[in-house]
Amino acid sequence: PSQKIGKDMSFEDAKEALYEMIEVYLDQHKENALKSSMLEPMKFLYEKQGQTHNMNSNDVHGYNYPAAILLSCLHVQLPLIPFMGDKWPAQGFLDCWDATGDTKQLWESFQKPENFGKSFTGMRKELQKLKFSKYPKSGDFKGVGKCQTPKHIANIAVNKDEKFKAVRKHIGENYISKFAYFFTKSFFLKKCFEVLNQEAIPEYMGFPVIFQRIFEEYKKGKTDIEDEKVIEWLYDEYFIEIQIDRVWELFTYIGITKDFSKVRAAKDVPLGDDIKAWVKACDMDEKVASVLDEQGYDDLEWMLTKAKEEDMNDMKKFCEISEDDFEKMVDILEDWKLKLQKKKSN
């Protein structure tokens, strides 16, 4: 950081120093999210087929296609800008999430925090048991056929023409959602804090001092905070489990994250078919409550907040359900909220 780090640094200098660290970390996190959600699964499936040349070309040609999709759909700018005119999709791009077989188990392995950003070669022990009966043709994309260029698939990803509806659904459910998973509250904040706090690279040196200074400013006038050290306040009494909500409070306090009641997170908020299924499956209340509890309490709060605001019509359209089912959904969510509150109090 350009600021002089120390216990006597001003609050504004502490914020600026942290912003610089977060900027560096975000680039690293985006690269790792792309690797775990798309690139490494592609390489793994190439190796399963014995296509070593295509596997080795993934970083050169294959990278451009998913990177272009992220740029067009989410406006995500990666450190390495995709070459939109690449004309060699068959050398390195594989529609990995269209494979037939253990794709669910494949994603379960790559979404583990300990595997985040890891090469598939370091995961062979848990991946070797996976089986696939059919592989997509290298360079092809489901519903499109051969990809012409990254620009071509990126334009299709945001084209609202009815003929591309199935393709866009495939992209949203199997690419965008998986990438976005790594930016959910529970995953991103824990990973971000722990990486910065380890001071593993020169750019992160001084983070504990900076975060302590921000904590001291944050707790001014708050009688409910007795801890003197930020690390004591963030972790449980045994210093094992980090309390994500408190990390979020501090990050939101200095403007790094936003109030979750004002934004929606792609993975954490149950959408469309999930809501319709849940509304009809009242006997699954306990199971769904546990899922919601695992995904994050604030996401349920988001659903209820949006449901009670004036933009209910937009919410109904977003959820793709009828007005009757929508009202029924709100009732069920309220019921789940009470269950989760009771669960947390216990």
331 vs 138, higher pLDDT: 138
- CA-nearest of 335, 339, 303, 337 to 321 is 303
User: In the chain, helix, strand, coil percent, each to 5?
Assistant: 65, 5, 35
Upper half-sphere CA count for residue 253 (Cβ side, 13 Å): 20
What is the number of other CB atoms lying within 10 angstroms of the CB of residue 53?
11
Q: Using pLDDT thresholds of 50, 70 and 90, give the confidence band for residue 28.
A: very high
Query: CA–CA separation, 60 vs 82, rounded Å?
Result: 10
Instruction: Tell me the average pLDDT across 95-99.
Output: 95
Residues 184 and 270: beta-carbon distance below 8 Å: no
Query: CA–CA separation, 250 vs 234, rounded Å?
Result: 10
Whether 165 shows a pLDDT value over 60: the answer reads yes
Query: CA–CA separation, 315 vs 318, rounded Å?
Result: 5
Q: Using pLDDT thresholds of 50, 70 and 90, give the confidence band for residue 155.
A: very high
Query: CA–CA separation, 269 vs 267, rounded Å?
Result: 6
pLDDT score of 300: 53
pLDDT score of 320: 53
The pLDDT mean for the chain works out to 82
Q: Using pLDDT thresholds of 50, 70 and 90, give the confidence band for residue 346.
A: low
pTM: 0.75
Enter the DSSP assignment of 256: S
Residues 13 and 3: beta-carbon distance below 8 Å: yes
* Helix ranges, 254-284 (H): 272-280
Residues 213 and 17: beta-carbon distance below 8 Å: no
Residues 36 and 96: beta-carbon distance below 8 Å: no
Least confident of 108-122, 165-179, 297-311: 297-311
3-state secondary structure of 165: helix
Enter the DSSP assignment of 235: B
Q: Which residues share a beta bridge with 132?
A: 101
Q: Using pLDDT thresholds of 50, 70 and 90, give the confidence band for residue 123.
A: very high
Instruction: Tell me the average pLDDT across 224-249.
Output: 88
pLDDT score of 343: 61
pLDDT score of 303: 54
258 vs 186, higher pLDDT: 186
Instruction: Tell me the average pLDDT across 218-243.
Output: 87
pLDDT, tens digit (0-9, with 9 covering 90-100), for 35-93: 999 999 999 999 999 999 999 999 999 999 999 999 998 889 899 999 999 999 888 99
Least confident of 158-167, 242-251, 309-318: 309-318
Instruction: Tell me the average pLDDT across 164-170.
Output: 91
In single-letter form, the type of residue at position 230 comes to V
pLDDT score of 185: 83
Longest Cα–Cα distance of the chain, Å, equals 63
pLDDT score of 284: 37
Enter the DSSP assignment of 257: S
Query: CA–CA separation, 169 vs 30, rounded Å?
Result: 22
Phi, psi of 296 (to 5 degrees): 135, 125
Residues 69 and 155: beta-carbon distance below 8 Å: no
Query: CA–CA separation, 280 vs 328, rounded Å?
Result: 9
For 254, the token pair is: 């200095």
